[in-house]
Amino acid sequence: MTGPKLGDVLDRDPYSGDMTKIVNWVHNVDKLLASDPYYKGLLAKYGARMTAFPQLSDKDIAAKMEHFERLASKETDNEIKILFP
Ligand code: HEM
């Protein structure tokens, strides 16, 4: 997978906790990559284009984001254990 880590994405700009903006992105990747400076920046940074998933429901997307968040906090826990066993 080449893309940003999604664990804390929802809390960051430009979402600020607004899941409908995440849903808009996952449904309309091509449109936003063409029009929105923030996503143009991500494309430049990662040099990769995310596939849109128009078939995912709002609920599916929210569930995946929650899952990513849990994975991210697990990674953090593991890093902490390595540093402070
Ligand atoms: C094979 C699966 C996926 C790949 C390879 C992928 C790849 C990428 C890439 C490259 C970006 C950076 C933006 C761009 O250049 O287009 C991105 C952003 C993002 N992706 Fe995905 N993606 C995948 C699946 C998903 C799924 C299933 C979700 C959510 C349900 C998701 C949510 C997001 C979000 C929210 C961002 C924006 C992150 C930010 O604002 O920093 N992605 N993805």
Angle between helices 58-83 and 19-27 (to 10 degrees): 110
Q: How many Å lie between the centroid of ligand 1 and the Cα of residue 81?
A: 28
Q: Residue 73: pLDDT band by 50, 70, 90 thresholds?
A: confident
> Each residue of 31-69: pLDDT tens digit?
999 999 999 999 999 999 999 999 999 999 999 998 888
Q: How many Å lie between the centroid of ligand 1 and the Cα of residue 16?
A: 17
Distances from the Cα of 56 to the Cα of 10, 65, 79, 80, angstroms: 17, 12, 32, 34
**What pTM value is reported for the model?**
0.84
Number of H helices, E strands in the chain: 4, 0
> What ranges do the domains of the chain cover?
9-83
Q: Which atom of ligand 1 is nearest to 39's Cα?
A: 13
